[in-house]
Amino acid sequence: MKKTVLITGAANGIGKAIACRLAKEGYDIVINYNSSKERAESLRDELIEKYSINCLSIRADVSREDEVEVMIKQIEEELGGVDILVNNSAIDLSNLFNLKTAEEFRRVLDVNVVGAYNCARSVYKSMLNKEWGRIINIASTNGINTYYPMSFDYDASKAALISLTHNLAMQFAPYVNVNAIAPGFIGTENELDGYDEEFLKEECEKILVQRYGKPEEVASLVKFLISDEADYINNSVIRIDGGQKGSC
């Protein structure tokens, strides 16, 4: 029986790579987006044409409980519900400490942490009723031991997402495996945009394999963690960072 994967923030970057990889494996895909409507719809059409799967693109601000509930209801009506949830949606409002506002801090937490909670809670009953499910939270090494003064609110949100992962694993046991992936420096369009070659060179020197990662490599890890081969992996945080040496 085909399984349906909801990927939040899937119109770009890591989320897009995950959608492409899982569509290739035959999963039905739901592309969640908030503002990238054109990219999300283009990706939806591409995946349907290329892989002959069922694919939806749904706009919802995951930080808003009501919008998440409407999204989940649509998925249930059109695809039978969510079997696999990938909480990928995140924002990073990098700025100098003294220029940041409490409103910006709250917004980062709302999207990156509360958004993951809203989505997990909305699929809770359905996954338990099916006695099967997978939840993957896309965290970051920024939530472990790689810290940037410009993004301390983002770093705090990813540490909170890791904590949330452990609590969700307890809540969803024994039928649903909940794990987190903590990427390091991944070369998405947004990550590379605006950086000069010297900065990228310095960053790569902090990584044992001497390069930044590819979104497709994160997608491959997601593909493994939702498979039957990973059935005994639960409540774990898996780094994918090339051997990142730590904080800047």
Active site residues: 154
In the block, which residue shows the tokens 């896309």?
138
Strand partners, 85: 6, 135
Residue indicated by tokens 């890791």: 162
Angle at 55 between CA 54 and CA 61, to 5 degrees: 150
- CA 11 to CA 207: how far, in whole Å? 28
Q: Under 8 Å CB-to-CB from 102, ≥6 apart: which residues?
A: none
Find how far residue 198's CA is from the centre of its chain. 29
b/e map of 89-111 (b: 16 or more CB within 10 Å)? Answer: bbbbbeeeeeebeeeebeebbbb
Q: How many CB atoms lie within 10 A of CB 40?
A: 25
